[in-house]
């Protein structure tokens, strides 16, 4: 029988109960008459401190608190893709239904209960094992068509091994057994505690990139499959647009998008756009590969803390099936603030900027759940790539969340307020950002042999331009040598015609790797040709008005299937025009 205690204290999202002697840390509890969901976060003598995932207004001292004797878990199985959940995996669209109207109850009321995955829906289970086969944790038992194009693999849950004794193929709901391993019935759905990492055989080295179709990312600061990225930026620098662009275009099989303490309307935008957009990899709607976890800024703060773990566990589940999952968290600062708020209510000794002293270890736990792995139970590889947006107060990167994240992530895309103000998007600053993944060899082998060399040229030129810029600020452009003036011309081409990319333009939003390569090659060619004629005595001012520069600026409009042809034609024109000067 479950234990019942009594509520003695309520202050915001943190409440205290007594009389729960068997309660364990991180057990799920039900608080008050409406049975609000809560989690045990501290044990102190006979007092159990609980963070409540719902609004605590109206809770009364003396009310009952019930220990469920299990930690917070998520439901894993077919039916996750395309769904929208809150931070503790309650599906949001069914919560809005009332009196037969889809949006009859647009506000989230307290104590609403609903299963994460629908129990009445049936799925066609196609077994891939036979009776007598010996299986263990992670073995694929069968498949289910989760969406028109996605094959969901039903796995033996961790902890179960033995030989298959019975199989029931065909239509089944997620909680009906489909395979028996020994005496153990296995259904399509399994549960997993969110705060616990799902097991894998071993981690793999990150040596292949996650292609995003964004020039500044793929060319300058690429990320590895299974890597971790942190994107800090003040408000208005385009964190959300950047994450949404990744969600739309990145070459991942499954996207888990966590709106953690952010705006409601941003999720609405995803919900409106993604079903209409086509996934270029499958031809199906983009929503079919997407799972949204929405815990907006006005939703309960403790559930914001949980939302990150809920999303991560779901991403790991698809990784274990052998897929590349991409987890986007917008924003980890709001998550850290939720930690801070709960910590403050617990009257813990604050660390830097009021954040609890365990912030760095919690962040490390989060980022380290990213990775490419060899999956349990077969010859599959899967990955979780993690992207964490950071919202530094006052756009000051010296604050704790940015600093700790920077230390943990392999890629740092610094979004710059000044670039954003001049509408240079993506506002990823080329000298403040970095990538620690060494992916040059992959690009050299798969796109063009001189990819990495060309990339270095671009980075160096941008660096050189910045140095010269500071000279000009002090002494004017007159002091520059003619070839130095050309650096400005090339820097401008790189910044405006290559690094800038419109997320809202149909053609430009996604730039394939060969187009990225050709665009950069043309800019370099223009610069080097110009350099030759300038070294021979031509005034660089005369080059600034060449009409071919406008054509370079429009390379972004090239249709992907004409890139080779267009590049060859433009190359010839550049040489002709420049040498004619």
Partner 1 sequence: MTGRGLRVVEFQTVEYVSGPLLFLEGVHGVHYDETVEVVTPDGELRRGQVLEVDRGRAVIEVFAGTRGLDVASTRVRLGGDAARLGVGLGMLGRMFDGSGNAIDGGPPTLPESFWEVGGLAMNPAAREHPSEFIQTGVSAIDGLNTLVRGQKLPIFSGFGLPAAKLSAQIAANAQVAGAEEQSFVVVFAALGITHREASFFRRFIEDSGSLGRTVMFLNLADDPTIERLLTPRVALTAAEFLAFEKGHHVLVILTDMTNYCEALREVSTAREEIPGRRGYPGYMYTDLASLYERAGRIREHGGSITQLIILSMPDDDITHPIPDLTGYITEGQIVLSRELHRKGVEPPIDVLPSLSRLMNAGIGGDKTRSDHREVADQLYAFYAEGRDLRRLVAIVGEAALSETDRRALAFADDFEDRFIDQGNANRSIEETLDLAWDLLEPIADSELKRIHPETIAAYRGRKPATSPNS
Q: How far is 382 from 327, CA to CA, in rounded Å?
A: 13
Least distance in angstroms from the C-beta of 90 to partner 1:
10
Closest by CA position to 418, among listed 185, 188, 233: 233
Closest by CA position to 330, among listed 408, 414, 261, 235: 261
Least distance in angstroms from the C-beta of 240 to partner 1:
8
Vertex 9 angle, CA 8 and 13, to 5°: 135
Nearer to partner 1, 24 or 421 (CB): 421
Specify the pairing of strand 162-167 against strand 177-181: antiparallel
Q: For residue 418, with 0-12 CB atoms within 10 Å meaning exposed, 13-18 middle and 19 or more buried, which class applies?
A: exposed
Least distance in angstroms from the C-beta of 486 to partner 1:
14
Nearer to partner 1, 108 or 436 (CB): 108
What the block records as the tokens of 413 is 């895309």
Least distance in angstroms from the C-beta of 222 to partner 1:
27
Nearer to partner 1, 106 or 559 (CB): 106
39 contacts 68 by C-beta, under 8 angstroms: no
| Count of beta carbons in the 10 Å neighbourhood of residue 445 | 10
Least distance in angstroms from the C-beta of 97 to partner 1:
10
Who contacts 519 (Cβ-Cβ below 8 Å, separation ≥6)? 215, 497, 498, 511, 555, 556
Mapped onto helix, strand or coil, the DSSP state of residue 546 is coil
Least distance in angstroms from the C-beta of 91 to partner 1:
8
Nearer to partner 1, 274 or 437 (CB): 274
* 3-state secondary structure string across 380-408: CEEEEEEEEEECCHHHCCCCHHHHHHHHH
352: left (phi over 0), alpha (psi -120 to 50) or beta: beta
Q: How many residues does the chain have?
A: 581
Least distance in angstroms from the C-beta of 57 to partner 1:
4
Least distance in angstroms from the C-beta of 362 to partner 1:
16
| Count of beta carbons in the 10 Å neighbourhood of residue 371 | 25
Nearer to partner 1, 250 or 546 (CB): 546
Least distance in angstroms from the C-beta of 422 to partner 1:
4
What backbone torsions phi and psi does residue 460 show, to the nearest 5 degrees? -65, -40
What the block records as the tokens of 305 is 């803390």
Nearer to partner 1, 183 or 547 (CB): 547
Nearer to partner 1, 68 or 297 (CB): 297
Q: How far is CA 191 from CA 94, 98, 224, in A?
A: 21, 29, 29
Nearer to partner 1, 62 or 537 (CB): 62
Q: How far is 539 from 483, CA to CA, in rounded Å?
A: 10
Least distance in angstroms from the C-beta of 244 to partner 1:
12
What the block records as the tokens of 387 is 């992207």
Nearer to partner 1, 550 or 580 (CB): 550
Q: How far is 300 from 348, CA to CA, in rounded Å?
A: 21
Which residues, listed in sequence order, are joined to residue 258 by a DSSP beta bridge?
A: 293, 329
What the block records as the tokens of 509 is 């939003």
Least distance in angstroms from the C-beta of 404 to partner 1:
17
Least distance in angstroms from the C-beta of 198 to partner 1:
27
Nearer to partner 1, 64 or 108 (CB): 108
Nearer to partner 1, 112 or 169 (CB): 112
Nearer to partner 1, 465 or 497 (CB): 497
Longest distance between any two alpha carbons in the chain, whole Å: 92
């Amino acid at each position: 029988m479950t234990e019942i205690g009594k509520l003695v204290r309520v202050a915001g999202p943190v409440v205290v109960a007594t009389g729960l002697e068997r309660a364990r840390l991180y057990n799920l509890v039900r608080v008050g008459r409406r049975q609000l969901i809560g989690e045990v976060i501290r044990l102190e003598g006979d007092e159990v401190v609980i963070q409540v995932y719902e609004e605590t207004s109206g809770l009364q001292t003396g009310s009952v608190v019930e220990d469920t004797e299990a930690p917070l878990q998520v439901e894993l199985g077919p039916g996750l893709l395309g769904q929208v959940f809150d931070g503790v995996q309650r599906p949001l669209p069914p919560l809005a239904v009332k009196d037969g109207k889809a949006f009859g109850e647009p506000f989230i009321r307290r104590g609403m209960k609903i299963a994460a995955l629908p129990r009445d829906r049936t799925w066609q289970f196609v077994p891939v094992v036979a009776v007598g086969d010996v299986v263990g944790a992670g073995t694929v038992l069968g498949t289910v068509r989760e969406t028109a194009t996605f094959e969901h693999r039903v796995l033996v849950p961790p902890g179960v091994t033995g030989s298959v004794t019975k199989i029931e193929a065909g239509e089944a709901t997620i909680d009906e057994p489909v395979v028996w391993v020994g005496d153990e019935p296995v259904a399509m759905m399994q549960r997993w505690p969110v705060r616990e990492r799902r097991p894998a055989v071993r981690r793999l080295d990150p040596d292949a990139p996650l292609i995003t179709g964004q020039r500044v990312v793929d060319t300058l600061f690429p990320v590895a499959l299974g890597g971790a990225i942190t994107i800090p930026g003040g408000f208005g620098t385009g964190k959300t647009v950047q994450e949404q662009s990744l969600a739309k275009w990145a070459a991942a099989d499954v996207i888990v998008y966590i709106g953690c303490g952010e705006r409601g309307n941003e999720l609405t935008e995803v919900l409106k756009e993604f079903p209409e957009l086509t996934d270029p990899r499958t031809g199906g709607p983009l929503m079919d590969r997407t799972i949204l976890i929405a815990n907006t800024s006005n939703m309960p703060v403790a559930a914001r803390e949980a939302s990150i773990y809920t999303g991560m566990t779901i991403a790991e589940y698809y990784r274990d099936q052998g897929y590349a999952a991409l987890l986007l968290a917008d924003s980890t600062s709001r998550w850290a603030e939720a930690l801070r708020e709960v910590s403050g209510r617990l009257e813990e000794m604050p660390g830097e900027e009021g954040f609890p002293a365990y912030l760095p270890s919690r962040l490390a736990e989060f980022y380290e759940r990213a990775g490419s792995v060899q999956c349990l139970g077969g010859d599959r590889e899967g990955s979780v790539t993690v992207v964490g947006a950071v919202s530094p107060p006052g756009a000051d990167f010296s604050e704790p969340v940015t600093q700790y994240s920077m230390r943990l992530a392999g890629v740092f895309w610094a979004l710059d307020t000044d670039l954003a103000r001049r509408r240079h998007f993506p506002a990823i600053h080329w000298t403040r950002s970095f990538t620690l993944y060494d992916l040059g060899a992959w690009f050299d082998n798969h796109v063009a042999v001189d990819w990495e060399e060309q990339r270095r040229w671009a980075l160096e030129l941008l660096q050189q331009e910045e140095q010269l810029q500071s000279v000009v600020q002090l002494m004017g452009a007159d002091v520059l040598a003619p070839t130095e003036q050309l650096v400005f011309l090339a820097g401008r081409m790189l910044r405006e015609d290559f690094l800038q990319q419109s997320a809202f333009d149909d053609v430009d939003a996604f730039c394939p790797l060969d187009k990225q390569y050709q665009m950069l090659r043309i800019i370099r060619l223009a610069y080097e040709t110009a350099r030759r004629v300038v070294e021979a005595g031509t005034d660089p001012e005369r080059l600034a008005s060449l009409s071919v520069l406008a054509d370079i600026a429009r390379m972004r409009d090239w249709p992907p299937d004409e890139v080779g042809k267009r590049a060859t034609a433009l190359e010839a024109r550049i040489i002709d025009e420049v040498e004619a000067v």
